[in-house]
């Protein structure tokens, strides 16, 4: 039986409900990670190696969660990251996330492989709502150019180029579920769909494994949207991204769905920020993190380490699949409530007050 929405008190609760009520193929696609799912689990577990050093006697009567990401003001420092195939979980697909993002004044990143068309998702936005585009780069660069130009024309405020997926990882749960009819409305780039390998592999054959640093100037030359590399995983590549002139990076391992035993984004962040600060480069790019963010304490930890914001994926898919729009709205509200309380308890009035001195990361660095 379906528990009432009010019985979901945190983001993990939505996952437990989704596991019970979702169609098996959809659950397999959303919940799976690569291989033994070590990285997927580590993404969340890594936050548990960071402890707080709260400050007391700070006036926290009024707490302000608002922040700015890539020039857009938002109500809380998380965004809805790109996750493909929204209609596997809910008949209306990604537009459900669009509506919740509007309600809570957070940014939505639109996936290349959305179930709804790009225009449907843009049409669903209201007022001055802001969306970003996640881009899988097609081997045919003219197709990619058209996608980018169209996104800019339709008002997208950021281009997130996924760089951690020259080939899709092996998500064995998903492969076993033998993706069949559920995603049949999804078009692959060249029209050919091999359904024997699970949903992910079936739709990703158009992605260009030849994409390299040499391509970055071309992207910068064809759009005014800020360009962010999604899926950067070490300090060397962050420094290279700065030199390449991009506007941001997402430290991410794709929710543990790509390279198995890749490090968590939060661990990479702890390596990256000191190196950027040392060079005085920390203001030259915006650094985002995703993977395993389930609690406001996770968001706060990422911000203390220097992230501009965090992406959240699966929890909103599970909330959407279980309870539709009401579910996603509640999930976002729970995060806001948690964050307001935890800002008070840590002794921080505003997002700008979050800094490394509020953390003890010995356990994270020590292994």
Tell the smallest beta-carbon distance from residue 300 to ligand FNR (Å): 16
Contact in structure between 337 and 51 (CB atoms under 8 Å) = no
Give the separation between CA 290 and CA 250, rounded to whole angstroms.
7
CB of 294 to ligand FNR, least distance (A): 8
Our CB check for ligand FNR shows the closer of 187 and 355 to be 187
> Could you say which of 30, 136, 174, 290 is catalytic?
136
Active site residue 360: no
The distance of closest approach from Cβ of residue 53 to ligand FNR in the complex, given in angstroms and rounded to an integer, is 26
Element (H, E) at 311: strand 309-312
The answer to whether 230 and 203 are in contact (CB under 8 A) is no
What are the residues binding ligand FNR (CB under 6 A)?
Answer: 29-30, 43, 81-84, 111, 113, 134, 162, 230, 252, 254-255, 257, 290-293, 311-314
215 to 87, 139, 140, 252, 313: CA distances (angstroms): 32, 12, 13, 21, 27
> In whole angstroms, how close is the CB of 76 to ligand FNR at the nearest point?
15
CB 122 within 8 A of CB 131: yes
Residue nearest to ligand FNR (CB): 313
* Structure tokens given for 296: 């406001």
Would you say 60 or 161 has its CB closer to ligand FNR? Answer: 161
Task: Kindly state the smallest distance separating residue 125's Cβ from ligand FNR, in Å.
Answer: 19
Distance between CA 238 and CA 234 in Å, rounded? 7
Residues facing residue 207 across a β-bridge: 138
Nearer to ligand FNR, 81 or 98 (CB): 81
Q: How far is the CB of 36 from ligand FNR (least distance, A)?
A: 16
**Annotated catalytic residue within 30, 254, 298, 323:** 254
Which residue, 312 or 351, has its beta carbon nearer to ligand FNR? Answer: 312
Q: Is 353 a catalytic residue?
A: no
Cβ nearer to ligand FNR, comparing 158 with 311:
311
Residue 156 tokens, joined: 């997208």
Q: What is the dihedral of CA 302, 259, 30, 186, to 10 degrees?
A: 120
> Which of 164, 174, 298, 353 is the catalytic position?
164
- 48 as an active site residue: the answer is no
Alpha helices in the chain, H assignment, sequence order? 11-21, 24-31, 38-45, 95-104, 118-123, 141-153, 172-176, 198-202, 216-222, 235-244, 265-278, 296-305, 314-346, 362-365
Question: How many CB atoms are closer than 10 A to CB 146?
Answer: 12
Q: Which of residues 43 and 72 has its CB atom nearest to ligand FNR in the complex?
A: 43
Q: Of 338, 322, 337, whose CA–CA distance to 14 is shortest? A: 322
Q: Which residues are catalytic?
A: 136, 164, 254
């Amino acid at each position: 039986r379906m528990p009432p929405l009010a019985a979901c008190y945190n983001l993990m609760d939505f996952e437990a409900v989704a596991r019970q009520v979702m169609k098996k193929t959809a659950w397999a696609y959303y919940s799976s990670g690569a291989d033994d799912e070590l990285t997927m689990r580590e993404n969340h577990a890594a936050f548990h190696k960071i402890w707080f050093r709260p400050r007391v006697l700070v006036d926290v009567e009024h707490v302000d969660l608002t922040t700015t990401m890539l020039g857009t003001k938002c109500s809380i420092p998380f965004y809805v990251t790109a996750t493909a195939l929204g209609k596997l979980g809910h008949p209306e697909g990604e537009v459900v996330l669009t509506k919740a993002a509007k309600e809570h004044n957070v940014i939505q990143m639109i996936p290349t492989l959305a179930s709804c068309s790009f225009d449907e998702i843009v049409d669903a936005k209201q007022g001055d709502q802001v969306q970003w585009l996640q881009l899988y780069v097609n081997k045919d660069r003219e197709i990619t150019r058209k996608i980018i130009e169209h996104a800019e024309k339709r008002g997208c405020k950021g281009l997130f180029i996924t760089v951690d997926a020259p080939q899709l990882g092996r998500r064995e749960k998903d492969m076993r579920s033998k993706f069949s009819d559920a995603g049949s409305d999804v078009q692959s780039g060249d029209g050919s769909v091999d359904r024997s390998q699970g949903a992910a592999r079936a739709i990703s054959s158009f992605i260009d494994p030849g994409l390299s640093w040499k391509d970055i100037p071309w992207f910068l030359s064809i759009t005014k949207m800020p360009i962010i590399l999604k899926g950067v995983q070490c300090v060397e590549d962050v420094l290279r991204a700065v030199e390449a002139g991009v506007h941001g990076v997402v430290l991410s391992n794709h929710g543990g769905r790509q390279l198995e035993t890749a490090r968590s984004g939060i661990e990479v962040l702890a390596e990256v920020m000191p190196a950027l600060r040392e060079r005085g480069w920390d203001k030259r790019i915006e650094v985002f993190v995703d993977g395993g963010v389930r609690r406001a304490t996770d968001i706060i930890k990422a911000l203390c380490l220097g992230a501009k914001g965090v992406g959240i994926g699966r929890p909103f898919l599970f909330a959407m699949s279980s309870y539709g729009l009401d579910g996603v709205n509640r999930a976002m509200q729970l995060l806001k409530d948690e964050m307001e309380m935890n800002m008070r308890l840590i002794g921080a009035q505003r997002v700008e007050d979050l800094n490394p001195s509020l953390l003890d990361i010995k356990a994270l660095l020590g292994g």
